[in-house]
Every structure is written in structure tokens, then in C-alpha cells.
Amino acid sequence: MRTDSIQKEDSMKEEFYTQKRWLNWMNKVKESQFKLPESEQDAAGAVFVYIMDDVILACLKVIARFEKGIISQNEALAAIRGIRDIVLAEHESLGEDADMMLASLRTSLAAVFESCNSYILGDYDRDRKMGEMISDAVKAETDGRLEDALAVVANIGARVIAGEKPPEIPDMDYCIVAELLDGIDAIAAAMVGDTSYKEEDGSPLEEEI
């Protein structure tokens, strides 16, 4: 393989998401002076929706390139892991209310990352009814088995990425599973929204947001 081809491949691996991009978002959150109970429709609250969409589109770009054979399974998993590490890295306080929203956002994105991993690996249940799986996830959380709850929700997310309609989410009190399922809903919304991720060719990310 020619040296310039190797260099191009190496550079492509770094361009799905960057720490600078994430820090730009954190600065926008800080500037918004977010205070509860602002909603997603409020200007300050909307920034968290934009962050969610931005991260999910980066993950979908990874999957699109994996599906096209541009990157290998291991490279795709590494790319998702790299995005996850950026998102979950500790950050200075943005204010009590904003920190709470960021924690909720990260929980939802944890389901996104695990869903992508399950899809890339092909390691998910394609047959069980999603409603039953949601019930299993809620029970797992009730029993204190949060990793099991995340694994079940990731199975649902992988199926959504594969093209299935997302499940109807029942009314439920606040719980971790509800936040995880928010991540799955966001995946479904992103897949029918901005589909430019399907044309990802490894060109540099635009950092201005």
C-alpha cells in the first residue's frame, strides 16, 4: 500500500468526532446559562438536543462507512469507542442544572454507543418483541442490574439501526431505562432526518457549531 494511502486512511479514522467539537458544545451549554425547568423547546434547553443529534450523526457515519466496507469491524468499534470516550470524559461544572442535564444526556448516549456496538458486531436478538424487552430492561433496573438493562436496550437500538421501527415506549416513572430509551428514539429520529451521514467519505469535520 502506498504511503499516501496509509496517511489518508489514518486521518479518516480521526474525523468522526473530535474533542474540540465536544468542548465547543460544552462552551455553548455554559453560555446558555441553562436553568431547570427549561424545556427542549427553550433556546437554552435546545442545545442539549443539538448535542445529542450531533453525536448520533457521528456514530451513524461510522456505521455507514462500516456497511460500505470502507472501514473494518474493528475500526468501526474503535471509532465508536473514541466518540464515547470524548463524550464521557470528565468536564468542569457547567452549573448544577446544566450538569444534571448533561448527566441525563450521557445516559441516553450510553444506549446509543452500545446499540452501535451491538449492530456492528451483529450481536443482538432480532426476534423478541420489543415490548417484552423493555419490560425486561425495567425489571433489570429494579433488580439493580443496570448493565443488563443497558444490554437489553442496546439490542433494541441495534434493531432500529438495522431498519426496524422503534418500539412504542410505555408511560413510565422516571428511571434509567427511560433515559436509555430516549437515546433509541433519538437514533430513529436522526435516521429519518439528516441522511447526509450516508455519504460520509472521510472528509474533515467542520468544527464550527
Look up cell 445529542; give the residue.
52
State the residue range of the domain holding 114.
Answer: 18-199
Tell me the whole-structure pTM to 2 decimals.
0.85
Tell whether the torsion through CA atoms of 149, 152, 158 and 159 is positive or negative: negative
Give the pLDDT score at 73: 97
Domain-embedded: residue 207: no
Position 205, amino acid: L
Look up cell 441516553; give the residue.
108
For the chain, the domain total comes to: 1
Domain-embedded: residue 91: yes
CA separation for the pair 152, 124 (Å, rounded): 9
Position 131, amino acid: G
Q: Which residues contact 44 (CB under 8 A, 6 or more apart)?
A: 32, 33, 34, 35, 38
Domain-embedded: residue 204: no
**What does DSSP assign to residue 198?**
G
Domain-embedded: residue 6: no
pLDDT tens, N- to C-terminus, the chain (209 residues): 433 444 444 434 547 999 999 999 999 999 888 888 766 557 678 899 999 999 999 999 999 999 999 999 999 999 999 999 999 999 899 999 999 999 999 999 999 999 999 999 998 999 999 999 999 999 999 999 999 999 999 999 999 999 999 988 888 888 999 999 999 999 999 998 766 555 543 344 455 55
Max Cα distance, the chain (Å): 57
Domain-embedded: residue 205: no
